[in-house]
Amino acid sequence: MNKTAIIIGATGLVGSSLLNYLLKSSNYTKVILLARKNIEIKHQKLICYQIDFDLIESYKDLITGDDFFCCLGTTLKKAHTIENFKKVDFNYPLQFAQIAKTNKVKNFLLISSIGANSESGNYYIKTKGQLEDKIKELFFHGTFIFRPSILKGHRNELRLKEKISEIFLSIFSFLLLGKLKKYRPILATQVAKAMYIEAQKGLKGIYIFESDVMQNIE
């Protein structure tokens, strides 16, 4: 296979792991990384572009390939304002997806969130659900949505609430059975692995994966 992957959000917890999978994979001969900051990563098949995410349309010619991996995301706390949060978690991913569709990118793989629902009263969950709805409407050959629970892994920044939730849920995860299994914390590396594996299957349609399902993808 001589596929081209496009990835945004490659410096995040899941994105950095996914980038390693893509670079090691013999299925991809080119990996296009689009980032807001310069990334000091060198690899023979990696092409890094530092772009202005407020001018995404200006870079539309760069968004060509087979599989688009969207690992972009922030938190309300880090964004400081609802407007900034929506820009990163909704506007940017949707703009990239729309251009990818126009440029005939085959598959779109999106990291969303557990409980994503466009009708939710929680702004974070609602925004994630709204993005999912818009991505589905683009009708890529394959649309793959990943809804992880609390992510486990080393972060460069401390997210105290998430860390406390991770510890609490990890301790009591054995109590999360049946429909509650999807709320168990999951390793970011496992989410990345699931994204990579699903992109290789050539499936057509819309697929949603929650943490309990991703845990079993090998």
Rounded CA-CA distance 3/53 in Å is 25
Instruction: Quote the Cα angle for 84-51-78, to 5°.
Output: 25
Residue of 28, 92, 128, 196 marked active site: 128
Query: Is 59 tagged catalytic?
Result: no
Alpha carbon distances (Å) from 46 to 23, 59, 101: 7, 17, 22
Query: Is 183 tagged catalytic?
Result: no
**Nearest residue to 112 via CA among 91, 137, 98, 132:** 132
Rounded CA-CA distance 119/31 in Å is 36
Residue of 59, 124, 126, 207 marked active site: 124
Catalytic residues: 124, 128
